[in-house]
Chains A and B, each alone.
Chain A
Amino acid sequence: MSAIDIEKNGDVPMLEAVNLVKTLGGNRVLDGVSLALPKGCVKVLIGPSGAGKSTLLQCLNFLLPPDAGHISLEGRRVNGGSKRELCAFRQKVGMIFQDFNLFDHLSALENVRVALIKVKGMSKLEATERALAELARVGLKDKATLYPANLSGGQKQRVAIARALAMDPKVMLLDEPTSALDPELIGEVLAVIRDLAQLGMTMIMATHQISFSASLADEFLFMDKGRIVEQGSPAELLGRGSQSRTQSFCAKISELTGVAGEACELGDIKA
Chain B
Amino acid sequence: MDFAVAFDAAREALPYMLGGVIWTVGLIVGAMLLGLFLGVPLAVMQVYGPWPARKLVNTHVWLFRGIPILVQMYIFYFGLLSWLSQVPLLENLGLDSPFVAAVLVLGLTSSAYQSQIFRGAIQSLPAGQLKAARALGMSDAQAIRSIILPQALRLSIPGWSNEYSILLKDSALAFSIGVVEIMARMRSVASATHEPVSMTFLAGIIFFVLTWVGVKALNMLENKVRIAGYTRQGAV
Contacts and interface: CB of A to CB of B under 8 A. Distances in A.
A101 B229 contact: no
Contacts of B129: 101, 103-104
A87 B228 contact: no
B137 to A, nearest CB: 4
A115 interface: yes
Interface in B123-160: 126, 128-129, 131-140, 142, 146-147, 150-151, 154
Interface string B184-196: 0000000000000
Interface stretch (A88-96, A195-203, A229-237, A247-255): A88-96
B131 A101 contact: yes
Interface of B is mostly: helix
Contacts of B151: 103-105
A164 B137 CA distance: 10
B139 A147 contact: no
Contact of B132 (A87, A91, A103, A146): A103
A119 B137 contact: yes
B36 to A, nearest CB: 19
Interface string B107-133: 000000000000000000010110111
A93 B154 CA distance: 31
Contacts of A147: 227-229
B235 interface: yes
B135 A95 contact: yes
Nearest to B235: A149
Nearest to A61: B135
Given A147-B229, A149-B228, A105 B138 contact: no
A83 interface: yes
Contacts of B235: 149
Contacts, number: 80
Contact of A97 (B131, B138, B139, B228): B131
Contacts of B228: 107, 146-147, 149-150
Most chain-B CB neighbours within 10 Å: which of A87, A104, A114? A104
B1 interface: no
B136 A63 contact: no
Nearest to A119: B137
Most chain-A CB neighbours within 10 Å: which of B134, B151, B154, B230? B134
B190 to A, nearest CB: 50
A99 interface: yes
Given A97-B128, A103-B147, A105-B150, A63 B137 contact: no
Interface in A128-183: 146-150, 160, 163-164, 167
27 contacts: A63-B134, A90-B134, A90-B135, A90-B136, A91-B137, A94-B135, A95-B135, A99-B128, A103-B132, A103-B147, A103-B151, A104-B129, A104-B151, A105-B151, A105-B154, A114-B147, A115-B136, A115-B137, A118-B138, A118-B142, A146-B228, A147-B228, A149-B229, A150-B229, A160-B132, A163-B136, A164-B135
